[in-house]
Structure 1
């Protein structure tokens, strides 16, 4: 079934995105040059067509439902991809003082942004643009200048250099561990919540099997489509996340998140810095070198925090 058949109209996506971004049917109407009732009618038709409520409507305004948030993230990413492609084919190339990164939201939010002050110290005049994905970043790097990819996800047309192992650690906030204890404790508490991606490549059961660990009781899981939310749930002290060190290394080193089990998993795969084969951006290479060096230091700092299974 095509996307066109799943929607009452393609314009419904533009209306939904404007309403979700602004939090107001009136504001969306002004942006789209239509009336507030027209926006409301378009959203209602979309909700009826997909048989799903996308907004909570109240006196305090609009709020996205969980399903609405999922659709909004997908629409934002899709619109960004279209905008990027149009810029690329229309010749509006980035200046020499700008680099576009293709990353997961988790790597951007929980690894790069916390170290932005150090980054700005090394690149005070550089503009960063982002192409982000909620799950594992895949696909060709172009039109971006630099991306992070698992070795199995590097496109054949890109050149890549490994910079970090794929290393998973069960992580939680110190307050969560104090309240609930470790996951591998002899007297496991039923209050634990396991958090993971909705369709993980390595889920909790595989992680436990490959590290020769087990849980003394069946625990509930929460599965979300955006890995950044997985990490944020752990940061908020609401669950235990399977943390990829490439995304969580800074949080782990700073003690913001701590191991929730004594054994971790190195899969044997590597994360790579990938570049378009036909691009030789000096600034992108410099940013890649900075990421690789910061990662090297982080890995050295957290080595030995857990026993590692291969």
Structure 2
């Protein structure tokens, strides 16, 4: 991997239905985790443990914190590095980026789909109004401070094409898009990492001290457990964001075998997107 993860105090991996943005005023990364009733929210933390392995020390990971299938909608997750090497945030995006090119760095942040970026709308989208006929599901909140953000989990079994739809929802254009990253990743190097999880009126605080060479793993998943779930989550995101001209984009997997009669789909896949909103505040109730 291009990112040297072993030097971190904690590695954060947020995967599933959510809109990620960078907040320059608060100096943090923010993610609106969309709670639509289909996707299930879980939080897990694994601790590195040294064990005797073939005459030398080996590291295994033991789960020490687990919040499974959180039903409550009013959830706030805060992750912060204390005495960090990075104040605020940085983005890993080395050099040029070509989604359809070769030898592109697998951790490049731009593998994540930016709905406002040049590959999609090319301009900042507005907040979707309820008049559009779509209901806005509730949102849980994730805040990450003092971290290097990058991409992770590129599903090479899924090659997408971009479908442009007009204001009626009809497909008017199809173009190759490529692979996408499913996971927003963050590397935190610090003396310790503080994890706060507020579920309703209860707040739980966990302090993760640095273990040199063996980072903690913090995983946040907002996934649909149904194996028959649609592979693209783009329609869900237009519950929150909309273009003035009514145009929207979908991502559909190309068929691997035309004789099979079906797309690559029916795999467990759920990709977060990036927005240039500057804050997830507008996605909150």
Q: What range describes the TM-score normalised by the shorter chain of this pair?
A: under 0.3
Which has the larger strand fraction? 2
The structure with the largest helix share of the pair is: 1
Structure number with higher relative contact order (C-alpha < 8 Å, ≥ 6 residues apart): 2
The normalised TM-score by structure 1 is 0.19
